[in-house]
């Protein structure tokens, strides 16, 4: 009896190549991928670089709500019936991005279980991150929120050593993401540097001591809001 042929579909290979309803796009630093209010008809996947997600209020106030990294999707709200973009996305550095038309994305989700699994893992991970961010905003001090954000940006694991934050992230952006002022961020960054938690000379390098301070709730990082 013949065994059924195994699917040779590779989701990462699919995302790395041009195809029907799919293109590979390059964005320079500070180039807009899409703007708040644009028609939402495409999903994007980051191959290289980081993308900043920001929103603008009716009063014109701008806030950074996320930073997307390689291996992550963005713009997936169009699959949920959003006709217009609810945020603006901007390249923080040179980026290589796969764009997938909504119709092509829906077809591949229905026809390729391996791709559906990859996308589902992303959605579950993103949902968990949003929940953690909400808890962070509700219960942690701005100092601890900054420490957690730096660890996330550095992709720190429990067994990590020194990890650089490859993208240039300004203190204004950090302040917007944790809901405080630039002066507070500057104060905390200087404090972290003096304590040996980070090296900060233009680019930020995060040390394992910062992870330990957050994990074990050490008194160096205190509730002071």
Q: Is the per-residue pLDDT at 160 higher than 60?
A: no
Which helix (H) or strand (E) segment is 163 a member of?
Answer: strand 163-164
Q: For residue 209, with 0-12 CB atoms within 10 Å meaning exposed, 13-18 middle and 19 or more buried, which class applies?
A: middle
Q: Is the per-residue pLDDT at 8 higher than 60?
A: yes
Q: What is the per-residue pLDDT across 86-125, written as a single tens digit (0 to 9) for each?
A: 999 999 999 999 999 999 999 999 999 999 999 999 999 9
For position 3, what pLDDT does the model report?
47
Q: Is the per-residue pLDDT at 158 higher than 50?
A: no
In this prediction, residues 149-156 reach a mean pLDDT of 86
Q: Which two tokens stand for residue 119?
A: 């996308």
pTM over 0.95: no
For position 217, what pLDDT does the model report?
66
Query: By the 8 A CB rule, do 138 and 128 touch?
Result: no
Mean predicted lDDT score pLDDT of the chain = 87
For position 58, what pLDDT does the model report?
82
Alpha-carbon span 205 to 222, nearest angstrom: 21
Percent of the chain with pLDDT over 70: 90
Q: Is the per-residue pLDDT at 225 higher than 90?
A: no
Q: Work out the number of other CB atoms within 10 angstroms of the CB of residue 158.
A: 8
Q: Is the per-residue pLDDT at 37 higher than 90?
A: yes
Query: By the 8 A CB rule, do 175 and 63 touch?
Result: no
Q: Which two tokens stand for residue 173?
A: 């952006």
Q: What is the per-residue pLDDT across 39-86, written as a single tens digit (0 to 9) for each?
A: 999 999 999 999 999 998 888 888 888 899 999 999 999 999 889 999
Q: For residue 107, with 0-12 CB atoms within 10 Å meaning exposed, 13-18 middle and 19 or more buried, which class applies?
A: middle
Alpha-carbon span 49 to 216, nearest angstrom: 32
Q: Work out the number of other CB atoms within 10 angstroms of the CB of residue 176.
A: 20
Query: By the 8 A CB rule, do 44 and 71 touch?
Result: no
For position 82, what pLDDT does the model report?
87
Alpha-carbon span 73 to 69, nearest angstrom: 9
For position 2, what pLDDT does the model report?
41
**Which residue ranges form the domains of the chain, and what is each CATH number?**
14-133 (2.60.120.10), 141-215 (1.10.10.10)
Alpha-helical segments (H) within the chain: 11-16, 102-111, 113-139, 142-153, 171-178, 182-194, 208-215
Q: Give phi and psi for 195, each to the nearest 5.
A: -80, -5
pLDDT band at 9 (very low <50, low <70, confident <90, very high): confident
Q: For residue 153, with 0-12 CB atoms within 10 Å meaning exposed, 13-18 middle and 19 or more buried, which class applies?
A: buried
Q: Which two tokens stand for residue 172?
A: 């204004």
């Amino acid at each position: 009896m013949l065994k059924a042929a195994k699917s040779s579909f590779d989701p990462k290979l699919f995302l790395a190549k041009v195809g029907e309803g799919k293109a590979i796009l390059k964005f320079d630093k500070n180039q807009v991928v899409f703007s708040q209010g644009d028609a939402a008809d495409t999903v994007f996947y980051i191959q290289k670089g980081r993308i900043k997600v920001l929103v603008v209020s009716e009063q014109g106030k701008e806030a950074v709500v996320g930073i997307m990294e390689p291996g992550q999707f963005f713009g997936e709200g169009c699959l949920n019936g959003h006709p217009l973009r609810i945020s603006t996305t901007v390249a923080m550095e040179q980026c290589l991005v796969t764009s997938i038309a909504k119709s092509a994305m829906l077809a591949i989700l229905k026809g390729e279980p391996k791709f559906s699994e990859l996308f589902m893992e992303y959605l579950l991970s993103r949902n968990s991150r949003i929940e953690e961010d909400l808890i962070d905003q509700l219960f942690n001090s701005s100092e601890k929120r900054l420490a957690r954000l730096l660890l996330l940006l550095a992709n720190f694991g429990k067994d990590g050593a020194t990890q650089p934050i490859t993208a240039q992230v300004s203190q204004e952006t950090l302040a917007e993401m944790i809901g405080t002022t630039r002066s507070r961020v500057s104060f905390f960054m200087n404090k972290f540097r003096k304590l040996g938690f980070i090296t900060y000379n233009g680019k930020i390098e995060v040390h394992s001591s910062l992870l330990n301070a957050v994990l074990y709730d050490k008194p160096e990082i205190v509730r002071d809001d």
